[in-house]
């Protein structure tokens, strides 16, 4: 008869110590049954130094009662069940151990606490120098100076990182401003730095980002899951949005129309009254009917007529951006409609408070106007 025991592997994070039972893979450790010499040879091969110890104890233990074996087996089962309760934040992995009925179980059970010393070297998880192997490598940073002819994208490729990772770690707002000799921080893996907010917990951050609890612990080399507001956490594998990448590349919005600039962003004299007023966009002049295109993909949030802006269209975009197109002769879109970048939405006109045929183009970020020329390409 063969008895199968399901053991658990428990890893408790503590300083330079680990309690380990079993291996990282689902595996079966089979011990020989007969003849006895073959069993010992197999034990020597499989269990290393256990074979010699078994030879000295086998004759003494063959006559022990089955009662002692059952008590030992019961203790092992109870211990396996109780340890997950006593050891918080444990990880469990199974190991099937097949023990032939006629083998000396008491010797085997007495040495089960030393499984990690006798497992095959091919097992993936091992304990080395008392340290727990990580599922994700801890974050490390190196410094790199930009060389002549290098772009941020080529530096990212050089280190096997995504462009977004390099942009995020160095808080690059415009890649065109990265100059030769500038020193960049280069992480050893893709991901983002996150600042812990009030009310955050590690579990909440894990659920919100889709990054496992264990990965965050390992990447930050954390001994405790307790975090504090303002603390910096590395989120392995996280990525910035496409909008943030486009903003850093200076490729946010395309020109909405062909023509010549007739007025810029900022304060100017009102063309009708001469009073100094703030102009929240740019003016592009051309012939009536010139196609007006969406500067970026988005959703039409408003269309209509205004006494100052005439016929207008407002499109909402990712990242809290909105674009407005005014003084139109006509528009071709409806509220709620999805629009692709470069799609024709209207025609240039001279409606509303206007001195001639032109497009008034404005960009807002969370309802605050911003200079479109810093975003156009």
Q: Tell me: the pLDDT tens digits for 95-142?
A: 333 434 444 444 444 444 443 333 344 333 333 344 444 568 999 999
Say if CB 27 and CB 95 are below 8 A apart.
yes
pLDDT tens per residue across span 297-323: 999 999 999 999 999 999 999 889 999
31 pLDDT band (50/70/90 cuts)? very low
Segment 175-202 shows an average pLDDT of: 93
Q: Which tokens hold the place of 73?
A: 């087996």
CATH 3.10.350.10 fits 141-249, yes or no: yes
pTM score, two decimals?
A: 0.50
**Number of neighbouring beta carbons within 10 Å of residue 38:** 11
- Asked whether residue 80 carries a pLDDT value surpassing 80, the answer given is no
Q: Which tokens hold the place of 123?
A: 């097992």
374 pLDDT band (50/70/90 cuts)? confident
- When mean pLDDT is compared across 79-88, 174-183, 234-243, 358-367, the lowest value belongs to 79-88
Nearest to 295 by CA among 234, 339, 341: 341
| CATH 2.70.70.10 residue spans of the chain | 260-374
C-alpha dist (Å) from residue 303 to 236, 312, 324, 343, 364? 43, 6, 10, 16, 16
Q: Which tokens hold the place of 236?
A: 């392995």
- Asked whether residue 277 carries a pLDDT value surpassing 80, the answer given is yes
Segment 39-45 shows an average pLDDT of: 55
Q: What is the pLDDT of residue 244?
A: 85
C-alpha dist (Å) from residue 6 to 23, 76, 233, 347? 12, 10, 37, 74
H or E stretch at 355:
none
- Asked whether residue 228 carries a pLDDT value surpassing 90, the answer given is yes
Instruction: Classify residue 21 by burial, with Cβ atoms within 10 Å: 0-12, 13-18, 19+.
Output: buried
- Asked whether residue 27 carries a pLDDT value surpassing 70, the answer given is no
| CATH 3.10.350.10 residue spans of the chain | 141-249
Higher-confidence position of 246 and 348 = 348
Q: What is the pLDDT of residue 45?
A: 57
Overall fold of domain 260-374: Glucose Permease (Domain IIA) (2.70.70)
Q: What is the pLDDT of residue 38?
A: 59
| Spatial distance between the Cα atoms of 362 and 324, rounded to a whole number of angstroms | 5
| Spatial distance between the Cα atoms of 137 and 156, rounded to a whole number of angstroms | 19
| Spatial distance between the Cα atoms of 75 and 113, rounded to a whole number of angstroms | 13
């Amino acid at each position: 008869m063969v008895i199968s025991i399901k053991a658990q592997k428990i890893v408790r994070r503590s300083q330079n110590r680990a309690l380990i039972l079993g291996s990282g893979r689902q595996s079966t450790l089979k011990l020989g049954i007969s003849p006895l010499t073959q069993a010992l040879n197999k034990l020597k091969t499989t269990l290393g130094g256990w074979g010699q110890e078994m030879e000295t104890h086998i004759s003494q233990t063959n006559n022990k009662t089955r009662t002692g074996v059952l008590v030992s087996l019961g203790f092992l089962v109870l211990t396996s069940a109780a340890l997950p309760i006593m050891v918080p934040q444990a990880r469990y992995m199974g190991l099937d151990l097949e023990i032939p009925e006629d083998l000396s179980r008491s010797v085997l059970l007495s040495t089960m606490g030393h499984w990690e010393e006798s497992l095959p070297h091919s097992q993936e998880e091992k304990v080395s120098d008392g340290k727990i192997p990580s599922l994700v490598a801890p974050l490390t940073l190196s410094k790199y100076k930009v060389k002549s002819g290098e772009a941020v994208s080529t530096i990212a490729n050089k280190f096997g990182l995504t462009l977004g990772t390099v942009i995020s770690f160095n808080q690059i707002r415009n890649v065109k401003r990265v100059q030769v000799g500038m020193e960049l921080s280069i992480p050893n893996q893709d991901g983002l730095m996150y600042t812990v907010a009030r009310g955050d917990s590690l579990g909440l951050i894990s659920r919100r980002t889709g990054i496992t609890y264990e990965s965050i612990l390992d990447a930050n080399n954390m001994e405790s899951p307790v975090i504090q507001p303002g603390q910096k956490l590395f989120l392995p594998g996280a990525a910035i949005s496409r909008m943030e990448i486009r903003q850093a590349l200076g490729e946010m919005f395309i020109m909405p129309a062909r023509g010549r600039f007739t007025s810029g962003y900022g304060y100017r004299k009102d063309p009708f009254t001469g009073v100094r007023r703030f102009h929240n966009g740019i003016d592009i002049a051309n012939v009536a009917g010139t196609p007006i295109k969406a500067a970026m993909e988005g959703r039409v949030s408003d269309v209509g007529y205004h006494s100052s802006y005439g016929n207008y269209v407002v499109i909402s975009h990712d990242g809290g951006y909105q674009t407005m197109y005014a003084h139109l002769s006509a528009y071709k879109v409806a509220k709620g409609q999805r629009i692709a970048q470069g799609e024709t939405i209207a025609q240039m006109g001279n409606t509303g408070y206007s001195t001639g045929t032109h497009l008034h183009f404005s960009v807002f970020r969370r309802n605050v106007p911003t200079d479109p020329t810093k975003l156009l390409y």
